[in-house]
Amino acid sequence: METTKLSIPNISCGHCVMTIKRELGEVAGVSKVEGDPAGKNITLEWDTPATLKKIKEVLAEINYPAVE
């Protein structure tokens, strides 16, 4: 299992976090998504077949792109 924390500048409230949780929850292999609107970041846990690339692609598609 891999864990990472991503900065998501577009997060502004709890509804943003709920949207991200819902969308990433549909990605096979993603087991946990926690968000912090104040810190504008999310913490993820995933296993294969999910990849960090796929997770970032989904975030970009839903207008919450991760920044490095």
Strand order in the sheet with 41-46: 2-7, 41-46, 30-36
Measured CA to CA, the distance from residue 37 to residue 57 in angstroms comes to 20
| Per-residue tokens: 14 | 């709890």
Distance, in Å, from the CA atom of 27 to the CA atom of 22, rounded to the nearest integer, reads: 9
The confidence score (pLDDT) of residue 68 equals: 75
Segment 41-62 shows an average pLDDT of 96
Q: Walk me through the domains of the chain, giving residue ranges and CATH numbers.
A: 2-61 (3.30.70.100)
Residues 7-43 have pLDDT tens digits of 999 999 999 999 999 999 999 999 999 999 999 999 9
